[in-house]
Chains A and B, each alone.
Chain A
Amino acid sequence: MSELTILQDSADRRKAIVALFARNGILIAFAVFMIGFTLANERFLSLDNVLGVVRSSAILGCIALGVTFVVISGNLDLSVGSMMSFSTIVVLDLHDKIGPALAIPVMFAMTMALGALIGFLVGYLKLNSLIVTLGMLSAIHGLTLTYSGGKNMDIADKEGTWFSVFGQGTVFGLPVPVIIFVTLALILGVFLARTAFGRKVYAVGGNGVAATFSGIPRARVVFLTYVISSFCVAMAGLLQASRSLGSQNTVGQGLELDVLAAVILGGASLLGGSGTVFKTVIGVLILGFITNGLLLVGLQFYVQYVVTWVIIILAVWLDVAAKRGRLWSPIA
């Protein structure tokens, strides 16, 4: 056994360990986090607390599920926050005008029409998604303000409506938002991982030109990712509206970047072609548990921003470093 092979062996082993960390880095970080906070406060891992965290993450989570599709196909969606404000305001307004049973489908249709418009612009007209959705962020905000006349929207009869069940109800002790979020995650997860459409989304994001040459209708796939995203936004809007039964025009403002943070934390590359629904759920939960854990140990809510910053950079850095095989960037 020469010295060289031993060196080789240890180098291989080190590489394998690095690869293991890189592939499951986000899960390992999650586990470390959970253990740390549980040791700091025994209430952290109690069922009540965990359900509470998932419940409060459900709105952000629903949107993040849809944005995962968009990001995997190699695009961005910055309009989701302003779109959620729109759907929340619309459903609250229609609730009193045409009743909740009609208001919900109408709101879904209107929100998904906006998603289809974005999908058309990005998919069929091939416009840059960052700028299109930036423009739509502003335009939809304008639309919401026009619709509501700038006023806050409230449901007249807050006690007597069954509409509150989506945001506040429980079934067998499980909060309804949690059930909705988990169900949506399961359906979309299977949809992305197990269907032909899901594979096409990865193909379009991984290499758009190659996808086109293999006969994948790139424009239609991109179009559909935005429709899915807007469906998820409508669901989040429903949860938000039902939870508070009243809303400001700016309820979703700034949410788009939090959602992206969750998706990126889950390991999806902004260049497209990678990411899964499961990992996005982990990303969402990490953000939720960070907030909760820091609050439980007695820190202010804004400490989470700084912690999230560090975690995002570290997570993506590890990912990038594992792909190129060295820690530091080779750029001179």
Chain B
Amino acid sequence: MKNENIKLFMAKGAIWGFIILELIFFSVAGEFFSLSDKAFMDWDNMLLLFKQSAPIGIIALGMTIIMINGNIDLSVGATFALCAVVMLDSMTWPIFAGLGNWVIPIAWALALITGMVLGLINGLIVWKTGVDAFIVTLGSMLGFRGLVFMYNGENPTSHLNWTLVDMAEADILGVETPTIIFVVCTLLIWLLMTRTVHGRNAYAVGDNREAAVNAGIRVGPHMVWNFVLIGFLAALSSVVFYSSSGSVNPNDGTLYELWVITAVVLGGTKLVGGSGSVISTFGGVIAIQLLRKGLGHIGADTAMVNLVIGLILIAVLFLDQQLNRKGKEELKV
């Protein structure tokens, strides 16, 4: 029984253990190596960390559901860029000229709808053609990126609206808008995954698609909804990020899909589907951002960050495999 608890902790709590380890390590190492005299676990620094992890984090929540489903979405980076272009450009459209600042909610809505439509396209193709989601979204990653370029050529799309910037950088007790949205989304999606029929279906579909079909779950529409959701979240992430920056390059968001998948996998979600948790993904996102900040704090450069993240990802995979294999062998005995 006790053994079971340890195993459960290893499965669910490993990422939090890792985060605590990082905090201790960087705090101690920071005393010796840091160039700044500020402590690593400074309140402001931690708030900044949450804010910086929001863009990747919000998308990672959606990716968790997609991966629990046994699918994958490589097009999120391009969706991210396209939604930003729609949001920033729509504010300059002549039809909205007389609206003043009321153009902001309209631009946000347009961007979010764009994200959902892109997700819907992916979902419908996956459902109706039966082509693997990896290939479908690999294709749309190229296609959506092409649309971004076709919109405005190779020029950046910029529009600075100070009310918008103020909204994006507003804070409650120091907690800024992106952080709030990230945390609220995590809670909502956690509720969705643990307290609703849709959430239960997501695990069922990923675990055994045949069985899910036999149990009467309409697998196709279910997956389409999830793609719409990740499209929405990628758009939300884009809206939050570009509201404050006000300018998007056509190449923005490239490789986001890989960072997002890294965070989700680090959080313990399996690629084959059927298992994973939104809260662990939240942990995975924080762990990666902590690693970036921490390595920066002790004076390591981007090169070291990339190297370490890559090696940790492989190490996590290896440990996970070893632990699971042991569990299976015990079951046999």
Contacts and interface: CB of A to CB of B under 8 A. Distances in A.
Interface string A146-174: 10001000000000000000000000000
Interface string B300-331: 01111111111111100110010000000000
A329 B310 contact: no
A136 B219 CA distance: 34
Interface residues of B, number: 53
B131 interface: yes
Contact of B136 (A254, A313, A321, A332): A313
Contacts of B310: 134-142
Interface string A293-332: 0000000101111111110110011001100100011111
B131 A317 contact: yes
Interface residues of A, number: 53
Given A146-B303, A270-B135, A308-B139, A313 B125 contact: yes
Contacts of A313: 125, 129, 131, 135-136, 139
Interface in B123-179: 125, 127-132, 134-136, 138-147, 149-150, 153
B52 interface: no
**Most-contacted residue by chain A among B142, B219, B301, B311 (CB, 10 A):** B142
Contacts of B131: 313, 316-317, 320
A302 B128 CA distance: 27
A134 B150 contact: no
B295 to A, nearest CB: 11
A78 B72 CA distance: 15
Interface in B46-94: 74
B318 A127 contact: yes
A138 B308 CA distance: 8
B146 A306 contact: yes
B195 to A, nearest CB: 25
A309 B143 contact: yes
Contact of B307 (A139, A260, A303, A305): A139
User: What does DSSP make chain B's interface, helix, strand, loop or mixed?
Assistant: helix
A317 B131 CA distance: 6
B271 A257 contact: no
Given A135-B313, A138-B310, A140-B310, A145 B132 contact: no
B10 interface: no
Contact of B306 (A142, A264, A310, A332): A142
B265 interface: yes
Contact of B317 (A127, A321, A329): A127
Contacts of A310: 139, 143
A164 B323 CA distance: 51
Contact of A260 (B129, B138, B140, B218): B138
13 contacts: A127-B317, A134-B261, A135-B311, A139-B311, A142-B305, A150-B302, A271-B132, A305-B145, A308-B146, A309-B146, A313-B136, A321-B129, A332-B219
Interface of B: 74, 125, 127-132, 134-136, 138-147, 149-150, 153, 213, 218-220, 250, 254-255, 258, 261-262, 265, 271, 301-314, 317-318, 321
Leading 7 A-B pairs by shortest Cβ distance? A309-B143, A305-B146, A139-B310, A329-B130, A142-B307, A142-B306, A302-B149
